[in-house]
Structure 1
Amino acid sequence: MAQLHDIVIDCGHPAAVARFWAAALDAYAIAPYDDAELARLRAQGVSGPEDDPTVLIEPKDGGPRVWCQLVPERKRAKNRLHLDLRSADMAAEVSRLVAIGAVVLARHAEHCVLADPEGNEFCLFPHR
């Protein structure tokens, strides 16, 4: 039986998208860059973390990791897969997410549809 291991977000600027999702998700943070990782990036011609083509966001207490990976094309259509988030205070969370770069796409009776800074859609639901 398969288990969910990673969630991968295609994007044009992985570091910026990773910062958004690390701030959006409770108990997630961008994985630290140690000397070995910085040397590996330099060997690939990458100047540093801001230009890293694959940025890892790690959960603090288990759960799937999130990778933000560079792709050459821009987002052109509705996501075929999206994340559903939940919050105890929907209004406050929508405001917080918008303040860190999300855009509200639609408000419905039971949830809100938003997009991250590069247009990747996600939904926010209340805790039940």
Structure 2
Amino acid sequence: MKGSLKDVCIDAADAHALARWWAPVLGYHVREDARPGWTAVPIVPPGGVSGPGLWFNQVPEPKSGKNRVHLDVEGDWRELVAHGATVLRGEGAVPEEDWVVLADPEGNEFCVFAPPAA
């Protein structure tokens, strides 16, 4: 059987706030039909760009432990820290690894890689 990746779903204490935080990080936008009362908020790539959507699902329980799945993004990790991310493992912490581990405002871990050289 063959499938294709449609969406990635992330649990959140505040689905709307986390969706609004992640949208500019990925160059996405909150889907136009998202309503204030929704407990699941989608962000999608800009028109003409393919890629999976992300859904932020409001859940009552707090995050506990390390994520079993995480996102890898390319960009300047310093800009993401200025945007509200927290450094979990900084640059050079592990000599053979060239990425930084950050957490979003709700503590979800993600890795940041430098963009490829032009």
TM range (shorter): 0.7 to 0.9
2:83 to 78, 100, 103: 100
Matched positions, count = 108
Letter of the 2:83 counterpart: I
Contact 1:23/1:100 (<8 A) preserved: no
Please give the secondary structure, in 2, of the residue aligned with 1:95.
Answer: helix
Q: Which runs of 5+ in 1 are unaligned?
A: 39-48, 88-92
Correspondence 1:23-102 to 2 at 5 A: 23-26=24-27, 28-33=28-33, 38=35, 49=36, 51-60=37-46, 61-87=49-75, 93-102=76-85
Relative to total residues, which structure has the larger helix share, 1 or 2?
Answer: 1
Query: Which has the higher Rg, Structure 1 or Structure 2?
Result: 1
- Cα distance in 2 for partners of 1:17, 1:71 equals 12
Could you tell me which amino acid in structure 1 is paired with residue 99 of structure 2?
A: H
**Cα deviation, residue 98, structure 1:** 1.4
Normalization by structure 1: what TM-score? 0.78
Give distance in 1, aligned partners of 2:106 and 2:115.
Answer: 26
Q: Quote the offset at 1:108 in angstroms.
A: 4.1
Classify the secondary structure of the residue corresponding to 2:63. coil
2:56 alignment partner AA: C
Of 91, 94, 112, the residue aligned with 1:124 is 112
Q: Please provide the CA RMSD for this pair.
A: 1.4
Q: In the aligned structure 2, how far is the partner of 1:62 from the partner of 1:111?
A: 25
Q: Which consecutive unaligned segments of at least 5 residues does structure 2 have? A: 93-97
Distance 1:15 1:62 in 2: 23
Amino acid at match of 2:42: L
Residue 55 of structure 1 aligns to which amino acid in structure 2? Answer: V
CA distance in 1, matches of 2:77, 2:115: 14
Overall identity of the aligned pairs, in %: 44
Is residue 2:21 matched to residue 1:20?
Answer: yes
